[in-house]
Homo-oligomer: A and B are copies of this chain.
Amino acid sequence: MAETDRRTIIAGIGAGLVAAAANGACAAPRDRKIGYAVVGLGGYAELIMSKFAECDNARLTALVSGTPAKLERFGTQYKIPASHRYSYANFDSIRDNPDVDVVYVILPNSMHAEYTVRAARAGKHVMCEKPMAVSTAECQTMIDACRAAGRKLMIGYRSRFEPHNRLAIEMARNGFVGPTRIITSEHGFNAQPNQWRLDRALAGGGSLMDIGIYSLNAVRYLTGEEPVEVSAMESTDRSDPRFGTVEDRISFLMRFPSGIESTCVSSYSSNHNAYRVIGTKGWIGLEPATGYDGHKMFVHRDGRTEQQSVPAGKKQHAGQLDHFAECIINDTQPLVPGEEGLADLRVIEAIYRSAREGRRVQVGA
């Protein structure tokens, strides 16, 4: 393909993304922005709270924490009045707060289900961090609770709102490097000791529940398909004090209905943040792929590899917060609803089962 054609195609896809982003930003003026209560004030919540300043349709209106000092500190920083600061004990009274439309659950994984259900019962829409919960059964309970309450549920898959990932999805699904044959996806970091992520009771598992889910979710969104079967292998040094109850590394293979194969890495003892979509005519790679920033896209076609510039668009955190706000305003379905979180957990359960039983496992069987 000539260089001109290549540029035209990428520009076309990019323009589409920019137009889509602009559409959202140009929605009709409204009386007020959608109000979010953030539940759980750890490190990631701190980052999220700082992102409301970039939002068009979302604002931070309440805080929930078991630590009074955090409520005081972040309440002051974000001008959240004492009436809008909650403990876990009085959390359910959030039902009476009309400034809260959404409860954003950023708690340890094992607490996602409980707080999602309680938020739905309090009449609030729910944004919940990934992994959605620690089992498919919990995921289904959360979906059911939100449905019963007539409230929306979205999972915090921020990469779906990140411009490089959005472009990669478009290019992969449109065969920019031919039909996809293989996807490699690797995510990992060196886990620091003494944190809830390393406690199975709170995290529900190890690296796969935390960083490995990015490897899995990326392959699912790059293919637009659900894996048929998985095969997994774990490697954990149980003498390492970090890994008393959770796994370190777990690698897994997936096969998709169209025949795409995928090799994935999940690790708590090495740094990885990359994926590559390999088609019959070349490949599209992101590295870093799913971090908070610094994403880079590389495209290999016609025998050469080039870095690909990507139209900027709205940043992923603000994009995610605004998207759910717009879904509420327009009564539309989120791009990544509870069913998306459930789909990941279904595969995660199959991966753990495969590693444990030493056999290939059909997903959902």
CB distance from A140 to the nearest CB of B (A): 28
CB distance from A186 to the nearest CB of B (A): 7
Q: Which of B181, B186, B300 contacts A267 (CB 8 A)?
A: B181
Chain B CB within 8 A of A359 CB? yes
Query: What B residues does A181 contact at CB under 8 A?
Result: 249, 267, 269-270
User: Which of A61-69, A216-224, A230-238 forms part of the interface with chain B?
Assistant: A230-238
Residues of A contacting B: mostly: strand
Query: What B residues does A188 contact at CB under 8 A?
Result: 182, 278
* A229→B354 CA distance, assembly (Å): 14
Closest to A300 in B: B271
Say yes or no: A231 contacts B229, CB within 8 Å: no
* A236→B181 CA distance, assembly (Å): 10
Say yes or no: A253 contacts B255, CB within 8 Å: no
Query: What B residues does A200 contact at CB under 8 A?
Result: none
Say yes or no: B260 contacts A235, CB within 8 Å: yes
Query: What B residues does A300 contact at CB under 8 A?
Result: 271
User: How many residues does chain A have at the interface if contact means C-beta atoms less than 8 Å apart?
Assistant: 40
Say yes or no: B265 contacts A360, CB within 8 Å: no
Say yes or no: A280 contacts B233, CB within 8 Å: no
Q: Mark A233-256, 1 if CB is under 8 A from B, else 0.
A: 101110000000000010111110
Q: Mark A132-156, 1 if CB is under 8 A from B, else 0.
A: 0000000000000000000000000
Chain B CB within 8 A of A127 CB? no
* A237→B265 CA distance, assembly (Å): 25
CB within 8 Å of B: which A66-105 residues = none
Q: Which of B190, B249, B260 contacts A261 (CB 8 A)?
A: B249
Q: Which of B233, B265, B360 contacts A255 (CB 8 A)?
A: B233
Chain B CB within 8 A of A311 CB? no
Q: Given A232-B231, A359-B360, is A182 in contact with B267 using a C-beta cutoff of 8 Å?
A: yes
Chain B CB within 8 A of A35 CB? no
Query: What B residues does A265 contact at CB under 8 A?
Result: 182, 184, 261, 263
Chain B CB within 8 A of A313 CB? no
Say yes or no: A233 contacts B231, CB within 8 Å: yes
Say yes or no: B231 contacts A280, CB within 8 Å: no
Interface residue ranges, A against B (CB under 8 Å): 181-182, 184, 186, 188, 190, 229, 231-233, 235-237, 249, 251-255, 259-265, 267, 269-272, 278-280, 282-283, 300, 358-360
30 interchain pairs (CB within 8 A)?
A181-B249, A181-B267, A182-B186, A182-B265, A182-B267, A186-B263, A190-B280, A231-B231, A231-B233, A231-B253, A231-B358, A231-B360, A233-B255, A235-B255, A235-B261, A237-B259, A251-B261, A251-B262, A253-B263, A261-B265, A267-B278, A269-B280, A270-B278, A270-B279, A271-B282, A271-B283, A271-B300, A272-B278, A358-B360, A359-B359
